[in-house]
Amino acid sequence: MENKKSIALDMDGVLANNMAHYIAYYFEETGQHIAPSTLVGLPENACLPDETAVRRYLEHPGFFRTLPVSTNAQEVVRALHERYDLFVVSAAMEFPFSLRDKYDWLAEYFPFISWRNIVFCGDKSIIHTDYLLDDHVKNLKTFAGVPLLFDAFHNAQETEFERLKDWNAVATYFLA
């Protein structure tokens, strides 16, 4: 137990597929379908034709409770859980109404992760684990361990950090 390496896993854009949810909400609101490929390279908060939409969706009650889980995340996280000390670390504090939704979402999709291993914070600079898997460079920049960039449309141009393009790549990195 003591020798296990620790990994901090981000929620939004990593465990959860926020992009798919933005597109689904936009379709619900406007009837207009946005192709994921057209979002590549756009900033997350202004990725939709209505640049106020993402922020509005994030503040919509239930948004975080109904996020789709990322493809293969459950299987890979379950496998990682056997070999590493996993922590879910989410910058949830910006959206206080999301706190309980995020807790319940984790309980639904990742029930094997104990409450002891969940962290809701603002600034992630005080989190100290061996690895951090995150889609936002701002969180990786202040991290003292090994930073890993989880591929997302909004970070397509980033070259500073090692990029893992999906959960299969995460499995290969940590379990191969």
| Catalytic residue list | 10, 12
CA distance 91 to 73: 19
8 near its own copies, rule: CB under 8 A:
yes
> Applying CB under 8 A, does 118 fall inside the site for its own copies?
yes
- Helices 167-175 & 73-83, crossing angle to 10 degrees? 20
Applying CB under 8 A, among 46, 120, 137, 151 the residue interacting with its own copies is: 120
Check binding of 146 to its own copies (CB under 8 A): no
Least separation in angstroms between residue 61's CB and its own copies is 12
- By C-alpha distance, which of 172, 38, 148 is closest to 89? 148
Burial of 98 (0-12, 13-18, 19+ CB in 10 A): buried
Q: Does 126 engage in binding with its own copies (CB under 8 A)?
A: yes
Contacting positions for its own copies (CB under 8 A)? 6, 8, 87, 92-94, 96-97, 99-100, 103-104, 114-123, 126-129, 144
